[in-house]
Amino acid sequence: MSFGVPAVGAGEVPENGVLIDVREPDEWAAGHAESAVHIPMGEVVGRLPEIVELAGEQPVHVVCKAGGRSAQVTAFLEQQGVSARNVDGGMHAWQAAGRPLVSDRGEPTVL
């Protein structure tokens, strides 16, 4: 389910890649990828300079719960000239791929 934007599977996101989690704060607190940067979808436009700086020369990987919101953000970033990839299937796919999660308390978690 690529939503017509560049997409990768959860298992294809490089460990040292830039990962932006666009879920809401309560979703983030419940569990997220340890290396992710939390930028809720509603803050993406205002934080675009930060995203551009994070990206540098590499693509930005965007994740949400199931892939819909992150696809919208991916499309926006691509329109702004930022190389972006939607994480297909979102955090559900991330967890199913066995990728690690932590909660805001820093402990391993399950979504």
Sign of the alpha-carbon dihedral angle for 6, 11, 16, 18: positive
Whether 64 is a known active-site residue: answer yes
d(CA 95, CA 44): 24
Distance CA 26, CA 55 (A): 25
Could you tell me the sign of the dihedral formed by the alpha carbons of 16, 88, 100, 97, in that order?
Answer: negative
Provide the token pair at 71.
């696809």
Nearest-CA neighbor of 72 among 20, 109, 25, 107? 20
User: 64, 73, 91, 101: which is the annotated catalytic residue?
Assistant: 64
Residues carrying an active site annotation: 64
